[in-house]
């Protein structure tokens, strides 16, 4: 009997923010995998070790969580005034499925560093000592991201004293700007309202409705009030992820939000769109103990946010969800804005001011995160017209580090 040989594919295993993933240069992939399609998906599934009915990804590079089951493909940018094209694939753990519908904000922090180290950035764009500005085209969502990558002695600086809650060790700070992060094909608020009632079956919620803000900035996200879900808003992973009934309920609610946002045509399609939209629940600030045992004081934060990722509560916060949080907080009257300010406003997109900027510090299971957003809106055509808000920019700081580099090996099915 003959057996397949193993391919050696150049790859780098990196941490970006609170996520980990396998990074590739597009040109290093086998030729059939350099274009989108089933063969590329099959390769990435095998690299990560999915689908795995044991949900451990033992025979691959995945870490058996949504935060560590990720892949990135980079190439020189095809876009004017950009340095690198960034394509993100979220690999399902127990299903043969790669979700290309959104971005990973955390791994974005590692994109600039990988691009520089891999020779994808022109030498004239780099500095010997200081900050290299890398303009990234995020191909999944068609958006511009700017990474400010520290450099020392002509190389990417990875070590430093910047601490990021959810990451054990310090590293160099990487500020990231998400420019105009709202959905380029639709409104910032897909339903036209900053807050509304999401109809769901009474089997899920006895009242048959939930107060919701549905926003498309960074990543499509539905924000709900923790109290209406029977939660406190300061839950840790075990409290949510060990409750199968709660997980099923939240996933069902997410499907109804996806339908309302126009992301799917039928509820059943939500199973094939696990990465988006995200579901998050919020609550006013309160004291709580983080996953590492650190006491977070009510006075340290503006509100509590917990977010679901691929059907489980995230151990910290997805970078793209943080963009959505900051965006929603900057617009008066959203579920997020109300939780942070304790003021109730009109439910439609109607504001007197033409711009707003807000920096918030929110609590998540691993600690806190500070993020800022600048929002603006078009002037009213007449008194009956509603203001159309847009998010100009969201900023936050993450960190990134190479964990291993060399080759990944997979059976040669190509």
Distinct helix (H) and strand (E) counts, the chain: 6, 21
User: Which of 162, 62, 147, 198 minimizes the C-alpha distance to 319?
Assistant: 147
Whether the CB-CB separation of 188 and 216 falls below 8 Å is answered with: yes
How far is Cα 272 from Cα 257, in angstroms, rounded to an integer?
15
How far is Cα 43 from Cα 90, in angstroms, rounded to an integer?
13
Which residue carries 């020779």 as its tokens?
A: 119
169-196 as b/e, with b when 16 or more CB fall inside 10 Å? eebbbbbbbbeebbbeeeebbbbebbbb
Whether the CB-CB separation of 314 and 66 falls below 8 Å is answered with: yes
Straight-line distance from the first to the last Cα atom of the chain, in angstroms, rounded to the nearest whole number: 19
The H or E element containing residue 91 is strand 84-91
**Helix/strand/coil percent split, the chain, to 5:** 20, 35, 40
DSSP 244: H
For the record, the structure tokens of 346 come out as 């009109």
Helix axes 105-117, 319-329, angle to 10 degrees: 120
Give the CA count within 13 Å in the CB-facing half-sphere of 74. Answer: 28
How far is Cα 319 from Cα 254, in angstroms, rounded to an integer?
19
User: Which of 86, 28, 61 minimizes the C-alpha distance to 404?
Assistant: 61
Residues designated as active site? 104, 318
User: Which of 280, 301, 284 minimizes the C-alpha distance to 218?
Assistant: 280
For the record, the structure tokens of 186 come out as 């639709």
Whether the CB-CB separation of 20 and 398 falls below 8 Å is answered with: no
Dihedral of the CA atoms 321, 326, 331, 332 (nearest 10)?
100
How far is Cα 219 from Cα 150, in angstroms, rounded to an integer?
27
């Amino acid at each position: 009997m003959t057996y397949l040989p193993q391919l050696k594919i150049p790859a780098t295993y990196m941490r970006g923010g609170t996520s980990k993933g396998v990074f590739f240069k597009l040109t290093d992939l086998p030729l059939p995998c350099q274009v989108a399609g089933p063969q590329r998906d099959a390769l990435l599934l095998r690299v990560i070790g999915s689908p795995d009915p044991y949900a451990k990804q033992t025979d691959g590079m995945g870490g058996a969580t949504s935060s560590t089951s990720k892949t990135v493909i980079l190439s020189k940018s095809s876009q004017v005034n950009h340095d690198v094209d960034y394509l993100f694939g979220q690999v399902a753990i127990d299903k043969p499925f790669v979700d290309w519908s959104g971005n990973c904000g955390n791994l974005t922090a590692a994109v600039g560093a990988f691009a520089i180290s891999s020779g994808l950035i022109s030498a004239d764009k780099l500095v010997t000592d200081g900050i290299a500005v890398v303009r990234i085209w995020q191909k999944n969502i068609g958006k511009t991201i700017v990474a400010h990558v520290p450099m020392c002695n002509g190389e990417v600086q990875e070590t430093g004293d910047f601490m990021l809650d959810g990451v054990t060790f310090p590293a160099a700070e990487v500020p990231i700007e998400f420019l105009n992060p709202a959905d380029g094909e639709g409104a910032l608020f897909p339903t036209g309202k900053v807050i509304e009632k999401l109809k769901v079956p009474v089997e899920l919620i006895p009242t048959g409705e939930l107060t919701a803000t549905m926003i498309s900035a960074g990543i499509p996200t539905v924000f709900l009030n923790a109290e209406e879900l029977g939660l406190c808003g300061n839950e840790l992973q075990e409290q949510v992820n060990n409750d199968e009934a709660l997980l099923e309920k939240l996933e069902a609610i997410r499907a109804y939000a996806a339908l309302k946002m126009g992301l799917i045509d039928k509820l059943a399609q939500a199973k094939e769109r696990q990465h988006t939209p995200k579901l998050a629940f919020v609550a006013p600030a309160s004291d709580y103990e983080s996953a590492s045992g650190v006491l977070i004081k009510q006075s340290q934060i503006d509100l509590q946010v917990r977010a679901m990722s691929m059907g489980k509560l995230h151990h910290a916060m997805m970078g793209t969800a943080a963009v959505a949080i900051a965006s929603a907080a900057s617009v008066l009257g959203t579920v997020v804005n109300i939780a942070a300010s304790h003021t109730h406003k009109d439910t439609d997109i109607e504001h007197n001011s033409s711009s707003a900027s807000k920096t918030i510090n929110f609590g998540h299971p691993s600690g806190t995160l500070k993020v800022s957003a600048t929002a603006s809106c078009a002037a009213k055509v007449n008194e009956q017209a509603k203001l159309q808000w847009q998010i100009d920019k969201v900023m936050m700081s993450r960190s990134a580090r190479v964990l291993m580099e060399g080759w990944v090996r997979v059976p040669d099915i190509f």
